[in-house]
Amino acid sequence: MEYRIERLPREELTAVSRLEREIFTDPWSYEALLSSYDNPCSVFYRASDANDNTVGYAVLYCIYEEAEILNVAVAPQARRNGIASALIGAAVEEGEKRGSSAFFLEVRASNGPAIALYKKFGFSPIGVRKRYYSAPVEDAIEMRRG
């Protein structure tokens, strides 16, 4: 599948919001996305298909030497094409450029595909946050790289 990775233009937040609702049971609201987008510590990436539709996105949050991957998602029909890997690669590269050497994230304990993806990028489990997620209530695995 042909795709392109780039910084997300602000007007594509509506497409991201649509995907959030389609993919997650506890999606970020449009307002939360907007407020995160406008935070200078955040960087949003998008993956677009051959028709310039947004089919994936990732959100990075950097503060000095620490960075957090806040979100990664790919539209169901676009999965297993390396898109999430490309998004994370772009986010990690940008974090390193901004001076981050340690990357963190949280993931639902039952989310095997995402945990496999993060392990591939050198993330390792460092802890559990009990009942961190809602809808359904579930533990978060905290992971760290670097």
Ligand X SMILES: CC(C)(COP(=O)(O)OP(=O)(O)OC[C@H]1O[C@@H](n2cnc3c(N)ncnc32)[C@H](O)[C@@H]1OP(=O)(O)O)[C@@H](O)C(=O)NCCC(=O)NCCS
Residue choice 11, 38, 40, 116 for contact with ligand X (CB under 6 A): 116
The secondary structure of residue 28, as a DSSP letter, is P
Q: How far is the CB of 76 from ligand X (least distance, A)?
A: 8
DSSP readout, 94-110? HHHHTT--EEEEEEETT
139 contacts 132 by C-beta, under 8 angstroms: yes
Q: How far is the CB of 95 from ligand X (least distance, A)?
A: 16
Longest distance between any two alpha carbons in the chain, whole Å: 41
Does 122 interact with ligand X (rule: CB under 6 A)? no
Strands 102-108 and 4-7: unpaired
Q: How far is the CB of 38 from ligand X (least distance, A)?
A: 22
Does 120 interact with ligand X (rule: CB under 6 A)? yes
Does 80 interact with ligand X (rule: CB under 6 A)? yes
Phi, psi of 49 (to 5 degrees): -90, -175
Q: Which window, 2-10, 31-39, 109-117, 130-138, contacts ligand X (CB under 6 A)?
A: 109-117
What are the residues binding ligand X (CB under 6 A)? 23, 72-74, 79-85, 107, 111-114, 116-117, 120
